[in-house]
Amino acid sequence: MSNQPYDFKILESFVKKIAPIDQHRTDNRMMLAAKIAEAMKEKRISAVQLAKTLGKSPSVITKWLSGTHNFTCDTLSDVEFVLGVKLLQLIDEQSIVYNYKIIMKSDTASKPMVALATKAVVHIVHKDTTPVIAQPPA
């Protein structure tokens, strides 16, 4: 094996030619690929299984994992959903999310306007722990 030192000048000249914005894009693509690969490993999902779940061909998943793919927002959203990993950091860490589930019933046959009140049953889930029910008025 040769002990000659490597000449990094050529490499450096190439790197210098890369615009910062392009470098940023490449970094993000690589990071996304790494995050997906890590999530697949954690969930023990193979590329074939992921492809099947998302309705894609396995070669598409291979391309995703190569770090060269330009993902669409929908694709990232689907991958997030399937793998349970955060790829799109849209929510600020300081943000607070409340989820409510409300079920209301109305009987328009008797009195259309009473859709406002009769038989109204409301279930609310507050912060996933404290739900609420609304009773019809007496």
Partner 1 sequence: MAKKIKTVAPTFKIQEINLMDYRLAPTPFAQPTAFEFDLEIKQLHQPKNALSLITTVLVIKDDSNIICGNLTMCCSFSVENLSEILKDEEHIKTLNLMLNQITISTARGVLFGLFRGTFLHNAILPVLDEAHLKWLPASKI
Contacts to partner 1 by CB under 8 A: 91-92, 94-109, 112-113, 115-117, 119-120, 122-126, 128-137
- Using the minimum distance from each CB to partner 1, give the nearer residue, 20 or 137: 137
Q: 22 vs 107, which CB is nearer to partner 1?
A: 107
What span, in angstroms and rounded, lies between the C-alpha atoms of 15 and 82? 36
Q: Are strands 122-124 and 132-134 parallel, antiparallel or unpaired?
A: antiparallel
Shortest distance (Å) from residue 119 CB to partner 1: 8
Q: How far is the CB of 71 from partner 1 (least distance, A)?
A: 21
Min separation Cβ 126 and partner 1, Å: 8
Residues 36 and 61 sit within 8 Å (Cβ to Cβ): no
Which residue's CB is nearer to partner 1, number 13 or number 108? 108
SS3 82: helix
Please tell me the distance from the alpha carbon of residue 115 to that of residue 129, in angstroms, as a whole number.
28
